[in-house]
Structure 1
Amino acid sequence: MSTEQPENDPFRKRPQPDEPGSGGPPPGEQSPGEPPPERPPPPPPGGAGGPYASPQGAPPPGAPYSDSYGGAGADPLAGMPPLGSRGRRLLARIVDALIVGIPVGIVSGLVSGFDSYDDAGAQYWQGGFYTLVYFLYEGLMLTRSGQTVGKKLMKIRVAVLQNGAAPHGTPGWVRAAVYSIPALVPCLGFLFWLINVLYCTWDKPYHQCLHDKAAKTVVVVAD
């Protein structure tokens, strides 16, 4: 008796597409006319986390404090000398004010007479003369070496935040101008000066005054 089942037998087991002899494509190959499988999209540029993410958690190019002097990563003060203390900066300003103020006061007294101190207008012009002399004094000293006489005595210096160099040229003059020139404006000039010099007490991480921020400088301990 024959054991073969007819081709049209409904109970006959038919080979699966992935079994030998089934007539279907082998595993991993595409059948003719079948659309290609969808591939997952490529990862975003810069690794996981979006288009602005950087490998190993590094800050993207141009991020704040990403330069070699200002530091990179979690500590923006890495790679630079210690910051000059606020006490040293204050003492340096007092020394510089005396260096400029004493000769300016003597000259003003000789030119205008001692009774001019009772005249408000004369006091204003004397103050303006002192401001301009101090501006020239500080601008010339900073653009030359980053130090005034007071800063040399206190062993601190002004440095460009980007690379630590002395503020030659424009940065030194901008710093001196923002510190001195607003004082020529009656009332409001003194208010701006007060906010300016106090700003370093709460600024982080570089303890900058407004004249530092304008010139992109920082005060550090001198070598």
Structure 2
Amino acid sequence: MSTDQPEDPFAKPPREPSGPAQPPPGQSPPPAEQQPPGQQPPPGQQPYPPPPYQPPPGGGSPYDQPPPGYGGGDPYAGGPYGAGEPDPLAGMPPLAHRGRRLLARIVDGLIIGIPVYGLTGLIWDYDYNATGAVFSQGVIYAVIYLAYQVFMLTRSGQSLGKKLLKVRVGMLADGTNPTTPAALKRESVYSLVPIIPCCGEIFWIIEVLWCTWDKPYRQCLHDKAGQTVVVSVE
């Protein structure tokens, strides 16, 4: 006699697992299989998450480094400030026109010269053919002119002539009004050197013309002595 039991036609087949088998308690699940490069994931499945952000070599954000110097160097190529350092004229008005500078000096010269030469001529009754008399007047004029310029420049950066012509003297480093030592150096070169006999006048002509070829700041020699620059205030 056979011991085989007939199959129940109404019996349900065993259910196949619908997902991956759960790991036994206490064990971590096996790592997920990596998707081959360029292969699309099967329909109905989410793509693998992107790898975590990797910082650049050396650590830190790429924006942590400070930007390079102003303009990558001196915009007025040839200035005294090395590449990468800010130019002292940044944010300041443009450089003054040479013609305005000249007219401002002429106005200041008349403001001081007319009363000085007029009064000394009346009081001392100079013989204008005498070399000593002319030299003495020149010394008096130079000293008064120097004092006038230093007084005005240290307070506002402008003499009366410069105010009229809308130009201003500032320190090359930061544009502030000239300090007293800077103004003294500047105006001594302009006012006192020319009264030196023989070579003084020749030097004066060269030094006031220096701004016509000087770059980048259009400085005369008296500007270089005081480390100043002349700008427009229009």
**TM-score per shorter chain, which class?**
0.5 to 0.7
Q: Report the Cα distance in structure 2 between the residues aligned to 1:109 and 1:66, rounded to whole angstroms.
A: 54
Tell which structure's C-alpha radius of gyration is larger: 2
Q: Residue in 1 aligned with 2:114?
A: 102
TM-score where L is the length of structure 2: 0.64
Quote how far apart the aligned CAs of 1:131 are: 0.9
SS at match of 2:93: coil
Quote how far apart the aligned CAs of 1:92 are: 0.2
Q: Residue in 2 aligned with 1:123?
A: 134
* Aligned mate of 1:89, from 77, 98, 101: 101
Structure 1 runs of 4+ aligned residues shifted over 3 Å read 54-60
Distance change >3 Å, CA 110–CA 65, structure 1 → 2 = farther
Q: Residue in 1 aligned with 2:176?
A: 165
Distance change >3 Å, CA 221–CA 188, structure 1 → 2 = same
Q: Structure 2: which 5+ runs fail to align?
A: 1-66, 75-80
Q: Which has the higher helix share?
A: 1
Residues 1:80 and 2:89 aligned together: no
- Whether the 8 Å CA contact 1:144–1:168 is kept in 2: the answer is no
Q: Structure 1: which 5+ runs fail to align?
A: 1-53, 72-78
- Whether the 8 Å CA contact 2:183–2:226 is kept in 1: the answer is yes
Residues 1:196 and 2:215 aligned together: no
Deviations 1:50-105 (A, max 9, x none): xxxx9689459x6278235334xxxxxxx321111011001000000000000001
- Whether the 8 Å CA contact 1:175–1:211 is kept in 2: the answer is yes
* Aligned mate of 1:216, from 202, 207, 227: 227
What is the Cα-based RMSD across aligned positions, in Å? 2.2
Aligned residues: 161
Percent of pairs with identical residues: 50
Q: Residue in 1 aligned with 2:187?
A: 176
Residues 1:137 and 2:156 aligned together: no
- Whether the 8 Å CA contact 1:68–1:163 is kept in 2: the answer is no
